[in-house]
Chains A and B, each alone.
Chain A
């Protein structure tokens, strides 16, 4: 399983766009990149998954450069309710167990 590195914490303000970058230098050819969001005392919630280039859904965008050694989760126009911990995970095999890193604690200020 590829190891991931992301900032421990970030602060931003309501209405801003927030970008969280994750490094995964040892990503394998068949690995996908997945981001999860977790609120206190809740299970992680799937945000977005991608393999290459750009993926967008109703919640976020995921940018993956050509070398795939990093990825950036983009949250448009954040609100206070986006305050949470965000985890970047890399893996590809359907039987892969997910090992969580430390995640990024995002704090949105009014």
Chain B
């Protein structure tokens, strides 16, 4: 099956610094990737849709200047949390669509990145 990887799997950073999280589709191409955030005991919350070669589309309430998304190739999207604060501590998950899938719809999810801001 299709595999999506994320790096790093966990990261601890100091308040005010920036952190970059990578999302890669390993064995398929994805023009669209999605970024989610999940707090403990809660569901996944869609943050933004990452489109290869164009600007990301952010969900309402998500600060685009704080969460910078770059989708530079068909297999890589990055999320940069700028000037991180403790309230940004969360589990960040990306997903990707298989460009060549013709029927139904399915997203393949990465394993997630645990961000802790101290």
Q: Which residues of A does B touch, CB under 8 Å? A: 32, 34, 36, 41-46, 49, 51, 87, 91-103
Contact = CB atoms under 8 A, between A and B. Distances in A.
Interface of B: 1, 4, 6, 32, 34, 36, 43-46, 49, 91, 93, 95, 97, 101, 104-112, 114
A91 B97 CA distance: 13
Contacts, number: 57
Given A97-B46, A98-B46, A99-B46, A43 B105 contact: no
A97 B49 contact: yes
Given A44-B44, A49-B106, A100-B36, 15 more contacts: A34-B104, A41-B91, A42-B111, A43-B93, A43-B109, A45-B109, A46-B106, A46-B108, A49-B104, A87-B43, A94-B101, A97-B49, A98-B95, A100-B44, A101-B43
